[in-house]
């Protein structure tokens, strides 16, 4: 297991560098002159040249990229073109909000969706199943920012029971995390339902029932344990989508997180901050995928064996 984990961890390094490369390349192609932004219009040509050299933007692309990666390993995300400070200053203050929000949303999605999926599967083709399925299909398809606006209208404006914006208290996190979890919740519900259906028809459940295990134990112990694996995978795969969704949700709910920092930075052409936000998100997503893979391997030893033997996953 340790060996497997180590191998996966090592594999993260080239992937991360690849991610940085892709993001850096896109941003390299984005128009905009940082020096003019940083120095203002009164700068002398000498100062402009000096600053260009200091920022390293007259270097060739690969030199810039290489320096960026080296700096990154020491925790430096470069200088913001907007504030003139290190990007990490704003980025690191934004990260906790996004992480809290994402984790809450993930937890919420798992807690609600798995029972819902199970109920739908157990009561297949009955009203409960149709209700859950309808809810799930709407949830997967609903634009989250629209859901967010609707939730604010309902809970903050008409009912006045929850704050509409900000991060002042734990209550402020309720609406954004519900909104954020909406899509994921729905897709896990769908996955859980279909994997549960599959498992319930599996031979070993039939065997268990035949051997006199009660229906309840068969469903909630034997079947659920196996049917939960795809749900965890779906949660892991969609973690990136979840974090990406923060772009719109953090704007709607005025959460000063990474998503809002990203969209604000795009609007002000602050390329280093945009890169910082994307790289952070990508690394987080990679780590979560790693954790999910480990969980997966822990639950299902066949995968681990395959990975160790074949050296790669299909």
Partner 1 sequence: MKRALALLLALIMAFGLLAGCGSKPADGGQDAAPDAAADWDGTITIVQSSDIIGWDPCASADVNTKNCMKNLLNRTFETDENLKAIPIMVESFEQLDDLNWTFTLKEGIKFFDGTPCTANDVKFSVMRARETSSSGKSLYGPIEEFNVVDDRTFTIKTANVYNSLPTALSNTSGAVLSQAWVEKADAGECTWEDVMKNGATGRYYLGEHVIGDHVTLIANENYFDYDTDGAKNKELIFKVIPEATTRTIMVQTGEADVNVNFDTVAMAECQADPNVQVIQHESSRIDLLILNTASEAFADKRVRQAVAFAVNREDCLSVGAEGYGAVCYSSLSPSTEGYVDNPAGYKYDVEKAKALMAEAGVTSLDVKAAVKTDAEERIMQVVQANLKEIGINLTFNRVDNTVLTELMANNEYDMCMNAYAHYQDPELFYGRYLGTTGIGANNYAHYQSAEADAAIAAAATTDAAVRQASLEKLCTIICEDVPWVGLYTEELYCLARAGVKGVNMNLETTYWYHTICY
Partner 2 sequence: MNQNPVNGTSNADLRKAYKRQSQGRDIWRRFCKNKMAVAALIVLSIIVLAACTADLFWDYEQDACALNISEKLQKPSREHILGTDELGRDILCRLVYGARVSLEVGIGAATFALVIGAILGSIGGYYGGRVDSIIMRVTDVLLAIPGLLLGIAIVSAFKPTVFYMALAFGISYVSKFTRIIRSAILSIRDQEYVEAARAIGAKDHVIILRHILLNCMAPILVQYALCIGTRILSVSTLSFIGLGIQAPTPDWGSMLAGARAYIRGNTYLVMGPGLALLLTISSFNIIGDGIRDALDPRLKK
The stretch near partner 2 (CB under 8 A) out of 80-88, 89-97, 147-155, 172-180 is: 147-155
Give dist(CA 24, CA 30) in Å, integer. Answer: 10
- For partner 1, what does the binding mask look like between residues 63 and 92, x meaning CB under 8 A? -------------------xxxx---xx--
- For partner 2, what does the binding mask look like between residues 258 and 277, x meaning CB under 8 A? ----xx--xx------x--x
Angle at 119 between CA 289 and CA 229, to 5 degrees: 25
Q: 154, 142, 161, 171: which is closest to 248 by C-alpha?
A: 142
Would you give the end-to-end CA distance of the chain in angstroms? Answer: 19
Give dist(CA 34, CA 50) in Å, integer. Answer: 13
- Give residues 36-55 in contact with partner 1 (rule: CB under 8 A): 36-37, 40-42
Q: Does 74 bind partner 2 (CB under 8 A)?
A: no
For residues 165 and 174, is the Cβ–Cβ distance under 8 A? no
Question: Of all helices (H) and strands (E), which one includes residue 88?
Answer: helix 87-122
**CA-to-CA dists, residue 212 to 34, 206, 225, angstroms:** 73, 10, 19
- Residue bearing tokens 């704007």: 251
Q: Does 128 bind partner 1 (CB under 8 A)?
A: yes
Query: Closest CB to partner 1 among 119 and 288?
Result: 119
Give dist(CA 258, CA 244) in Å, integer. Answer: 10
Q: Which residues bind partner 2 (CB under 8 A)?
A: 14-16, 18-19, 21-23, 26-27, 29-30, 124-125, 133, 137-138, 140-146, 149-150, 153, 157, 190, 194, 197-198, 201, 240-241, 243-245, 247-248, 251, 262-263, 266-267, 274, 277-278, 281-282, 285-286, 289, 312, 314
Interface residues toward partner 1, by CB under 8 A? 33, 36-37, 40-42, 82-85, 89-90, 93-94, 119, 123, 127-128, 131-132, 135, 150, 152-154, 156-158, 160, 163-168, 251-254, 256-257, 260-261, 264, 267-269
């Amino acid at each position: 297991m340790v060996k497997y984990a180590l191998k996966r961890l090592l594999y993260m390094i080239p992937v991360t560098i690849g991610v940085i490369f892709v993001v850096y390349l896109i941003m390299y192609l984005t128009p905009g002159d940082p020096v003019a932004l940083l120095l203002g219009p009164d700068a002398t040509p000498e100062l402009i040249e000096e600053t260009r050299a200091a920022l390293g933007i007259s270097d060739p692309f690969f030199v810039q990229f290489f320096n960026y990666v080296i700096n990154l390993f020491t925790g430096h995300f470069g200088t913001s073109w907007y504030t003139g400070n290190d990007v990490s200053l704003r980025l690191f203050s934004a990260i906790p909000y996004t992480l809290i929000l994402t984790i809450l949303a993930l937890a919420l999605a798992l807690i609600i969706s798995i029972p819902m999926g199970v109920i739908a599967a157990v009561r297949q083709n009955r009203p409960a199943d149709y209700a859950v399925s309808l809810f799930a299909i709407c949830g997967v398809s609903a634009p989250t920012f629209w859901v967010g606006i609707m939730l604010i209208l309902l809970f903050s404006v008409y009912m006045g029971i929850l704050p509409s914006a900000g991060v002042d208290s734990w209550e402020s996190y309720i609406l954004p995390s519900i909104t954020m979890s909406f899509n994921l919740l729905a897709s896990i519900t769908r996955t859980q339902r279909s994997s549960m259906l599959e498992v319930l028809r599996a031979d070993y459940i039939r065997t268990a029932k035949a051997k006199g295990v009660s229906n309840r134990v068969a469903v909630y112990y034997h079947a659920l344990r196996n049917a939960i694996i795809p749900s965890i995978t779906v949660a892991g795969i969609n973690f990136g989508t979840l974090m990406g969704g923060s772009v719109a949700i953090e704007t709607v709910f005025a959460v000063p997180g990474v998503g809002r920092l990203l969209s604000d930075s795009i609007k002000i052409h602050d390329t280093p901050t945009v890169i910082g936000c994307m790289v952070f998100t990508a690394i987080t997503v990679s780590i979560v995928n790693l954790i999910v893979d480990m969980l997966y391997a822990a639950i299902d030893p066949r995968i681990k064996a395959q990975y160790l033997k074949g050296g790669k996953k299909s």
